[in-house]
Amino acid sequence: MKELKLTIDLLPKGAWGNNLSKTLPTKDWDTLREACYKRAGYKCEICGLSGELDAHEEWEFDVRLKTQTLKNIIALCSACHGVKHMRNSERIGYGENAKRHFIKVNNCSELDFARHRTKAQELFDERNKIYRWKLVVEPDKLGGKGIEMKERVIPFIQNPYEGIDLAKEEHEMFYSISQKKSIIEPSIRSVDVDNYTGNISVVAGFTNKIEWYLDGEKIKTKFNIAGQFLSEFSAESLNGKELQFKLVNESGETASKIFTLVKA
């Protein structure tokens, strides 16, 4: 297949929160954006369209070294940018439009698109084996003199609920309650750990609030008004070893198992 002007760049999950547009202060990102647009002559660097533009970060990934290196920031129209982020375009219903734009800009066939899309997915899957990428960024080279990057610190979370059927445990608890005609204490219905982002999602029943503890010290409380309780917690920047939560209602409390935090 001939060399393509417009390619699909699927950012691996472990890098989703590392983009400069989210991590830098707004004024610093605006400085880099404006420098990017100026370098491009205020036109899309792929199809040449002028008008409203997006700043797209071009990253290079080294699986062996686990490095994510910023190579460039380029100016793109929304259509070309949508091709770069094809998975998101497909997710929001613009996948077909993005495919047509890819074929038009590259003057290629649907088969060429399918082959390239498959290759991009294979790279995405391979890079998803890495949970934490070490950032290599030099803002000075891209018009961001004096801009400093702060490395995100996200511990790896060992999930004590891995492989445990919480639905079965809750059913057994309610059976015991019905036999004893006892009060209903808070119940843990599901626990999900996303080690790409360092987030813990908890679904609880009969819960007025959830309290989070780091090495035995309470660090956060979130209240529930009514119904099933869904709570999200981020372990980013936590400096500790053991994390635990407690579910509380007027009848009592239910303590979780211990989540172990390991420096990535």
Ordered per-residue pLDDT tens for the chain, 264 residues: 678 999 999 999 999 989 999 899 999 999 999 999 999 999 999 999 999 999 999 999 999 999 999 999 999 999 999 999 999 999 999 999 999 999 999 999 999 999 999 999 999 999 999 999 999 999 999 999 999 988 889 999 999 999 898 876 554 555 454 445 556 889 999 999 999 999 999 999 999 999 999 999 999 999 998 778 999 999 999 999 999 999 999 989 999 999 999 997
pLDDT number for residue 217:
98
Query: What are the C-alpha distances in Å from 45 to residues 39, 77, 152, 155?
Result: 10, 8, 30, 38
pLDDT number for residue 225:
85
Contact 219, 225 (CB under 8 A): no
Q: Which two structure tokens, joined as six digits, stand for 121? A: 């997915």
Could you tell me the pTM of the whole model?
Answer: 0.84
Residues 6 or more apart in contact with residue 225 via CB below 8 angstroms: none
- Pairing assessment for the beta strands 187-194 and 199-205 based on DSSP bridges: antiparallel
pLDDT number for residue 209:
96
DSSP H stretches of helix in 154-253: 166-180
Q: Which two structure tokens, joined as six digits, stand for 245? A: 């939560």
Query: What are the C-alpha distances in Å from 132 to residues 11, 68, 135, 157, 236?
Result: 13, 9, 9, 12, 12
Q: How many CB atoms lie within 10 A of CB 232?
A: 12
- Cα separation of 70 and 136, whole Å? 6
